């Protein structure tokens, strides 16, 4: 686990100058600005609350989706083991 973290940190440090030279930091900062302005806009329901509820809805849909998936059969048919 620690080795993977160190490897990811090294890759990030090496990729940062390349992203700067390609001008992608400007695009990333622009996206962050757009997202921040969207969350701060005034509507009948606060946009930050809509974003939070959307994230919760995706989590609940994932949990329900995995709960409805059929279970795998663990019995080995070659050995003649009965299935549940």
Q: Which domain holds residue 22?
A: 2-67
What pLDDT, on a 0 to 100 scale, did the predictor assign at position 77?
60
- pLDDT reading at 67 higher than 80: yes
pTM (two decimals):
0.47
Residue 76 falls within a domain, yes or no?
no
Residue 82 falls within a domain, yes or no?
no
- Please write the tens of the pLDDT for every residue from 6-57: 999 998 888 878 777 778 778 888 999 998 898 888 789 888 899 899 999 9
What pLDDT, on a 0 to 100 scale, did the predictor assign at position 14?
85
- Quote the longest CA-to-CA distance of the chain: 66
Look up residue 5 and give its two tokens. 């973290």
Residue 74 falls within a domain, yes or no?
no
Spatial neighbors of 39 by CB under 8 A, at least 6 apart, are 47, 48, 51
Residue 83 falls within a domain, yes or no?
no
């Amino acid at each position: 686990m620690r080795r993977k973290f160190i490897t990811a940190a090294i890759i990030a440090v090496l990729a940062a100058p390349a992203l700067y030279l390609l001008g992608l930091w400007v695009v990333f900062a622009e996206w962050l600005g757009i997202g921040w302005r969207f969350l701060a806009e005034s509507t009948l329901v606060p946009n930050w609350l809509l974003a939070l509820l959307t994230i919760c809805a995706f989590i609940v849909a994932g949990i329900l989706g995995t709960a409805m998936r059929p279970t795998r059969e663990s019995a080995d048919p070659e050995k003649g083991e009965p299935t549940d």
